[in-house]
């Protein structure tokens, strides 16, 4: 049986349905049912007007986008998606039904299908197209929800993004009876959304067949919500003698300080949770507590980043632009399935890097040191944050790949319901004035003497200096801090010799240079005196080409003493720079803090 031709002048049910697909009410407007068209369009028009008003205000727009990272908002969005779909289907079917009535056709189900199969097929096609868009939105909503749930799971992390290491290689002191030891340790103060937020960033790497689990990268990021100022503190992995919270049983057991390298405390807490007031599933609490005690702040949250997952995230986001301040050379950079590693060289300047290249830049240390590596790791984090906005994580074209990468890369105990507040805070972060600190010797740590270093390399923290720096981090000029970090990376060896009769002048100058970030000492040679005590002014000499390798050191010394440096070649001189004070050398005073 053929479909009966539609009478001329009667509206098309299919057209009415298609117009309703484009926007609720258009189909009724086509049918000249003006009141009904207005009623159908009123709700979506009001909704769009409200959304437009929100999006036009930058602050409200930013808050709205951040809310999409809340599990409860994602669940609500899924329900709204279903309700909007049902509303649009009802409007399209109503317009179709009214068009049929206008053409004199009964809307009875089977009978209509028999009489007008093409029209019914058209309606079903419209409803299918309508549903596909909402199903896609629901799918993206579900992916986002599952991703957030996965990375913020409060269960046993075990270093989950890096595998499930055993405690076989732990340095813990053995089995501790638990009957007389409390199981609840001191709790860090949760973030209230308005105070200073401290988050521990942990980089982990577990190679195939390796059962140990060391936290080799430990950076505490501190953000002031009022000003948006950010400070980052890197604690070297070889730091030992880290003070422990007195409420922990480990405090009495170890004599007040953790005797092993701080990068092993996670494994120790997992093997002996009774000592640290934790459960084996909550070993990060021990790391947070010990570093919080060292820095003198509460660290309630951590973010664990696995190196392999990090590569996937960077590649999914399209790579990273990183300002390489000093060249990086590593002739034995470790990569899987190779003997001897990779010969790595990264030239200075702004470089585009893939995930693997960014990881190599952040991890390399064979031709540099762990302190320089810590500074590079901070630079990678800041570069990625500066190049990534919230919308990058909402791109539907990348959502599947990004979800997979994030699940393999990140785990955190940050509460999922506070993620919108965290996202808003990160969007306001003032990275241009970042305070960057690496707690290196001699200012913040005491390094093992050469005889001990040959057995095991260790650092003992200068707790007072570290806590003072953390306490005053947001009151120091960020330009000075950037200069300090550059000076520390150049690592010049500077001798200060007295060239005048002023008592204690060389020691005072060396102390001031040390405050600026220059490794300056008064050598014991000849009592710290120059060849004469009648120098009229300060003389700064760079030896054996050091001035070419240390531009920031040149700049700071010339600015400090108001002189130009003198280059000289002398292979017998082991220092990079020799500063000789004179009669007119300024009286340099370290400012009170």
Q: Are 407 and 149 spatial neighbours (Cβ–Cβ below 8 Å)?
A: no
The residues near 280 (Cβ < 8 Å, ≥ 6 apart) are 156, 269, 270, 271, 273
In the chain, how many H helices and how many E strands?
22, 19
Decide which of 121, 151, 181 is a domain's last residue.
Answer: 151
Three-state secondary-structure class, residue 404: helix
What are the pLDDT tens digits along the chain (593 aa)?
444 444 455 788 889 999 999 999 999 999 999 999 999 999 999 988 888 887 777 767 667 777 778 888 888 889 999 999 999 999 999 998 898 887 766 555 555 544 567 777 888 888 999 899 899 889 888 888 888 888 886 444 444 444 434 333 344 443 333 333 333 334 567 787 778 899 999 987 655 455 556 788 899 999 988 888 899 999 998 899 999 999 899 999 999 999 999 988 988 888 888 888 766 667 888 999 999 999 999 999 999 988 878 888 888 888 888 888 777 877 666 665 445 556 778 888 888 888 888 888 888 765 556 677 788 888 888 888 887 776 666 677 778 888 888 888 889 998 888 888 888 888 888 887 788 888 888 778 888 887 777 777 888 999 998 998 898 888 877 777 778 878 887 889 999 999 998 888 998 898 889 888 888 889 877 778 999 999 999 999 999 999 999 999 999 999 999 999 999 999 999 999 999 999 999 988 776 54
DSSP string, 63-115: HHHHHTT-HHHHHHHHHHHHHHHHHHHHHHHHHHHHHHHHTT----HHHHHHH
Is 486 a domain residue? Answer: no
Of 315, 309, 368, which is closest to residue 549 (Cα–Cα)?
368
Q: 306 has which bridge partners?
A: 204
d(C-alpha 546, C-alpha 553), whole Å: 10
Tally of domains in the chain? 2
Number of other residues whose CB lies within 10 A of the CB of residue 225 = 18
Is 147 a domain residue? Answer: yes
Strands 328-333 and 342-346: antiparallel
Q: Starting from the edge strand earliest in sequence, which strands make up the sheet with 519-521, in order?
A: 519-521, 493-497, 577-580, 539-543, 566-568
Decide which of 91, 118, 151 is a domain's last residue.
Answer: 151
Q: Which domain holds residue 531?
A: 492-580
Is 440 a domain residue? Answer: no
Is 349 a domain residue? Answer: no
Is 0.75 topped by the overall pTM? no
Is 341 a domain residue? Answer: no
What is the DSSP secondary structure assignment for residue 342, as one 8-state letter? E
Q: Are 512 and 484 spatial neighbours (Cβ–Cβ below 8 Å)?
A: no
Per-residue HEC secondary structure of 528-550 comes to HECCCCCCCCCEEEEECCHHHHC
The number of C-alpha atoms within 13 Å of 523 and in the hemisphere containing its C-beta is: 16
- Strands, E, within 75-226: which ranges? 197-204, 215-223
Is 103 a domain residue? Answer: yes
Of 29, 31, 53, 30, which is closest to residue 41 (Cα–Cα)?
29
Is 225 a domain residue? Answer: no
d(C-alpha 514, C-alpha 521), whole Å: 8
Of 420, 427, 416, 418, which is closest to residue 148 (Cα–Cα)?
416
Q: Which residue has the tokens 């996670």?
A: 266
What is the DSSP secondary structure assignment for residue 226, as one 8-state letter? T
Decide which of 118, 151, 184 is a domain's last residue.
Answer: 151
Three-state secondary-structure class, residue 433: strand
What size, in residues, is the chain? 593
Q: Are 545 and 565 spatial neighbours (Cβ–Cβ below 8 Å)?
A: no
Is 268 a domain residue? Answer: no
Q: 200 has which bridge partners?
A: 220, 302
The residues near 465 (Cβ < 8 Å, ≥ 6 apart) are 443, 444
Q: Are 185 and 192 spatial neighbours (Cβ–Cβ below 8 Å)?
A: no
């Amino acid at each position: 049986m053929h479909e009966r031709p539609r009478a001329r002048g009667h509206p098309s049910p299919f057209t009415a349905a298609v117009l309703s697909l484009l926007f609720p009410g258009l189909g009724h407007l086509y049918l000249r049912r003006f009141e009904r068209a207005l009623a159908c369009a009123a709700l979506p028009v009001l909704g769009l007007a409200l959304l437009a008003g929100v999006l036009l205000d930058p602050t409200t727009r930013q808050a709205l986008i951040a809310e999409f990272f809340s599990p409860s908002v994602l669940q609500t969005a899924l329900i709204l998606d279903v309700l909007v779909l049902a509303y649009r289907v009802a409007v399209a079917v109503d317009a179709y039904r009214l068009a049929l009535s206008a053409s004199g056709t009964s809307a009875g189900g089977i009978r209509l299908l028999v009489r007008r199969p093409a029209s019914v097929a058209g309606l079903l096609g419209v409803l299918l197209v309508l549903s596909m868009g909402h199903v896609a939105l629901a799918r993206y909503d579900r992916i986002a929800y599952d991703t957030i749930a996965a990375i913020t799971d409060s269960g046993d992390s075990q270093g989950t993004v890096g595998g499930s290491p055993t405690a076989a290689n732990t340095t813990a002191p053995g089995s501790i009876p638990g009957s007389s030891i409390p199981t609840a340790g001191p709790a860090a103060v949760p973030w209230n959304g308005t105070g200073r937020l401290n988050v521990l960033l942990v980089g982990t790497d577990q190679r195939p067949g390796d059962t140990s689990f060391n936290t080799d990268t430990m950076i505490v990021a501190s953000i002031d919500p009022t000003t948006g100022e950010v400070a980052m503190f890197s604690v070297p992995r070889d730091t030992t003698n880290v003070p422990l919270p007195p409420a922990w049983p480990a405090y009495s057991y170890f004599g007040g300080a953790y005797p092993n390298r701080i990068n092993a405390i996670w494994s120790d807490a997992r093997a002996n949770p009774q000592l640290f007031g934790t459960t084996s599933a909550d070993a990060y609490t021990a790391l947070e507590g010990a570093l919080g005690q060292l820095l003198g702040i509460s660290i309630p949250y951590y973010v664990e980043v696995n190196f392999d997952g990090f590569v996937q995230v960077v590649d999914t986001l399209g790579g990273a632009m990183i300002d390489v301040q000093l060249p990086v050379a590593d002739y034995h950079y470790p990569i899987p399935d190779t003997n001897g590693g990779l010969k790595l060289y990264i030239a200075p300047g702004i470089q585009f890097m893939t995930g693997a290249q960014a990881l190599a830049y952040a991890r390399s240390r064979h031709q540099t040191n762990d302190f320089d590596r810590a500074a590079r790791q901070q630079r990678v984090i800041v570069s990625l944050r500066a190049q990534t906005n919230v919308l990058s994580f909402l791109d539907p074209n990348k959502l599947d790949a990004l979800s997979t990468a994030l699940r393999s890369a990140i785990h955190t105990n940050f509460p999922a319901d506070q993620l919108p507040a965290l996202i808003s805070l990160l969007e306001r972060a003032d990275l241009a004035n970042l305070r960057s600190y690496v707690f290196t010797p001699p200012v913040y740590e005491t390094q093992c003497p050469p005889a001990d270093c040959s057995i095991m390399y260790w650092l003992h923290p200068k707790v007072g200096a570290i806590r003072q720096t953390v306490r005053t981090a947001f009151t120091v000029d960020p330009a000075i801090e950037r200069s300090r970090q550059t000076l520390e990376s150049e690592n010049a060896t500077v001798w200060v010799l007295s060239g005048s009769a002023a008592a204690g002048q060389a020691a005072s100058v060396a102390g001031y240079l040390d405050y600026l970030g220059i490794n300056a000492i008064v050598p014991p040679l000849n009592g710290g005196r120059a060849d004469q005590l009648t120098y009229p002014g300060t003389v700064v000499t760079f030896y054996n080409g050091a001035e070419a390798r240390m531009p920031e050191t040149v700049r700071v010394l010339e600015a400090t003493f108001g002189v130009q440096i003198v280059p000289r070649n002398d292979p017998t001189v082991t220092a990079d720079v020799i500063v000789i004070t004179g009669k007119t050398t300024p009286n340099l005073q370290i400012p009170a803090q």
